[in-house]
Amino acid sequence: MKAVKENRVYTVVDAEVEAFRKEGYDIYDDKGKIVAYGVGKTVPYEQYVALQNQVDDLNDVHYLKDGLRITLYREDFSLNLYLWIIIEIQFICEFINHLPLSLY
């Protein structure tokens, strides 16, 4: 395994992993996949806010159907179901309105 921090790279054995993690080193396996992150890392507040805004945007799923914008909320299944039923009823009504009179 490898312990990596900034431009320093050390080859470590399992017994040394925790000590290097406590010093802030990330631990990678022999294939280059991260096994554990170093302790004490922080993210700049501006970056945190930008990522939080992206998460908030992903929590609301927006659909556009015939110019109608519908927001579906991941937490509220009953509201989503209600909105989908309305969309389907509108679609069926539009389909029926476009049928030739001979099919009625």
State pLDDT tens for residues 27-40. Answer: 999 999 999 989 98
Q: Locate the domains of the chain by residue range.
A: 2-36, 59-103
pLDDT for res 64: 55
Give the per-residue pLDDT at 85. 80
Give me the tens of pLDDT residue by residue for the chain, a chain 104 residues long. Answer: 999 998 999 999 999 999 999 999 999 999 999 999 899 888 788 988 888 887 776 665 555 555 555 555 555 556 667 777 877 887 787 777 776 655 45
Q: Which pLDDT belongs to residue 43?
A: 79
Q: Which residue has the tokens 């009625």?
A: 104
